[in-house]
Amino acid sequence: MTGHADDRAPSGTGEGARIMRDSMDAIRMDFAEANQWVFYGMAVALAVAFLCALRHPGTRVTEEPAPARDVRAGP
């Protein structure tokens, strides 16, 4: 079976295998809780970016163009 390394617990009887079996659930929970804050941060960043995009004028003209000046006429 390949691709499911988390499904298999260490099969040894030594101290390292016992510690690994006892700690895997806690490690998975810590990882999930840490990622939760990352996802919240990404959601806030996307919301701020959306609000900035709404306020950005884009291709809309927001100011009247200055009248063209005749360069030959001088100042």
Question: Per-residue pLDDT tens for 30-68?
Answer: 999 999 999 999 999 999 999 998 888 777 766 777 777
Distances (CA, A) of 35 to 5, 15, 40, 41, 57: 20, 30, 9, 10, 35
- What residue has token string 């009247």? 64
Q: Does residue 18 belong to any structural domain of this protein?
A: yes
Q: Does residue 28 belong to any structural domain of this protein?
A: yes
Q: Does residue 40 belong to any structural domain of this protein?
A: yes
3 versus 23: the higher-pLDDT residue is: 23
**DSSP-assigned letter for residue 65:** P
Please state the domain count of the chain. 1
Q: What is the model's pTM?
A: 0.50
Tens-digit pLDDT profile for residues 4-24: 656 666 667 788 877 887 888
| Domain carrying residue 39 | 11-57
Q: Does residue 26 belong to any structural domain of this protein?
A: yes
Q: Does residue 66 belong to any structural domain of this protein?
A: no
**CB crowding 37-72: b at 16 or more within 10 Å, else e:** eeeeeeeeeeeeeeeeeeeeeeeeeeeeeeeeeeee
Q: Does residue 62 belong to any structural domain of this protein?
A: no
Q: Does residue 5 belong to any structural domain of this protein?
A: no
Q: Does residue 51 belong to any structural domain of this protein?
A: yes
